[in-house]
Every structure is written in structure tokens, then in C-alpha cells.
Amino acid sequence: AYRALGVNDERARQLAADNLDILLGTVVRPLQRKTRAAAFRALSNAAATEDGARRVLTKAREAFALPDKGYPKEALVGLIARILARHPALASPAESRVVYRRSA
């Protein structure tokens, strides 16, 4: 089901948004790596609206505090980055882009 909800298709995005409450639990639930990757793609689809994106970002940011050493934090960073690319207004000050240029 996670793979189906993670497909790049408008119907999958709508179904993922309809099941956002269930998908949010996958962030903190112990899952196998491949299952979690599919769940993260489904969460990315579910974050199509700003409200859904805000809910996913809140849960994803909480997951950084998890003590599990086997948790795929790099995949979590990717999920947050995909959501913030679509909804830049939701970025915290620490997540905003900084561009450094050489002084003349």
C-alpha cells in the first residue's frame, strides 16, 4: 500500500492525503528500511496541501530526537527537503537557504 500511495500520480496523492493520519504513524513506528522508504514517498505525496505539509513536517522534525541509531535520518532529511521545496513558507529560520558569494 505504501508503494501505491508513493507513486507520482494525482490519484495516489489524493489517496495519500486522505490517509494522512495513518501515514503519520510510519515516521515513529519501527519499520524495515525498504518499507520506511516507501512510506516516506507516500508521506511526500500526502503533503500536497500546506496543512498536510505542516503536519508531516511537525512529525518528521520530532523524529530527529529518536535515539534509534538504525533510523534512516538521511531519508528523513530528504523527506523534509522535498516538502520544503514545495512549501518554502513552512521552513524554520534554521532551514532557510543561505547563499554565500565572494566579496568583490
CB distance 2 to 43 below 8 Å: no
| pLDDT tens, position by position, 41-50 | 999 999 988 9
The pTM of this model reads: 0.82
How far the first Cα of the chain sits from its last, in Å, is 54
The C-alpha cell at 93 is: 529560520
| pLDDT tens, position by position, 32-82 | 888 888 999 999 999 988 999 999 999 999 888 888 788 888 888 999 999
Those residues whose C-beta lies under 8 Å from the C-beta of residue 63, and which sit 6 or more positions away, are 27, 28, 71, 76
